[in-house]
Amino acid sequence: MNKNESKYFNTAVRMDEALIALLEKKEFSYITVKEICDTAGVNRSTFYLHYENTADLLKEATQHILTRFQSYFKTDLDSISNRFTQTERQDLLFITPKYLIPYLTFIRDNRRLFKTVMREFGSMGFDQVYRKMFTYIFDPILARFDFPANTRTYVMKFYLSGITAIAMEWLDGDCHDSIETISGIITECVLGKLKLYETQPTIQI
């Protein structure tokens, strides 16, 4: 990265962080370019050199958050889909310390950010991120566990809503309980339900 690229990158990061900080205080639709520039310490001309509007910055900020999230994992999350048909089913479970510990560590380290993402899930485009993950990751995994195709969206929402609720409760308690404790609670809740499902005949609807 040369000097100009480095300067461009640093400025972009400052504006990403500025928008994220503002989102912690108000809804996206009420955030102005002036507020972003004032928070980032840049002028309007610099903003428009990078973006056409605040929506462009929001897309970049969302990717900035995803990159930060992925940095907590040793496993390359983008490569997981390549192993769906070539691995044992137990190795497809994400409800293990390998994934839960970095996930919960990210939440603990980015408490306000996580709450902001939950509140602005749609406006930040994370609904689209979820749909992509469902298509390329969650749906194939549920297929390997013999969940009928027409039940998979419901099943995935059930699990994710439960895990998110546990995480939010943990945050409301200022993360008083250890990451290992919360990881254990999630594992017991989710895998207990999954094992129950596996012992039953396949549901035909």
Please report how the helices 111-119 and 3-23 are oriented relative to each other, as an axis angle in degrees rounded to 10: 70
Helix (H, G, I), strand (E, B) or coil at 85: coil
Q: How far is CA 37 from CA 49, 62, 64, 92, in A?
A: 12, 18, 18, 44
Domain ranges of the chain: 3-58, 72-199
Q: How far is Cα of residue 99 from the mean position of the Cα atoms in its chain? A: 13
Per the CB < 8 A criterion, the answer to whether 16 and 60 are in contact is yes
Please give the structure tokens belonging to residue 104: 């919960």
Q: Is 202 helix (H, G, I), strand (E, B) or coil?
A: coil
Distance CA 57, CA 82 (A): 31
What confidence tens digit (pLDDT) does each residue in 36-69 have?
Answer: 999 999 999 999 988 999 999 999 999 999 999 9
What tokens appear for 51 in the block? 């973006």
pLDDT in tens, 89-122: 777 778 888 889 999 999 999 998 999 999 889 8
- Identify the weakest region by mean pLDDT among 86-90, 91-95, 163-167, 177-181: 86-90
Pick the CATH number of 3-58 from 3.40.50.360, 1.10.10.60, 3.40.640.10, 2.60.40.1730: 1.10.10.60
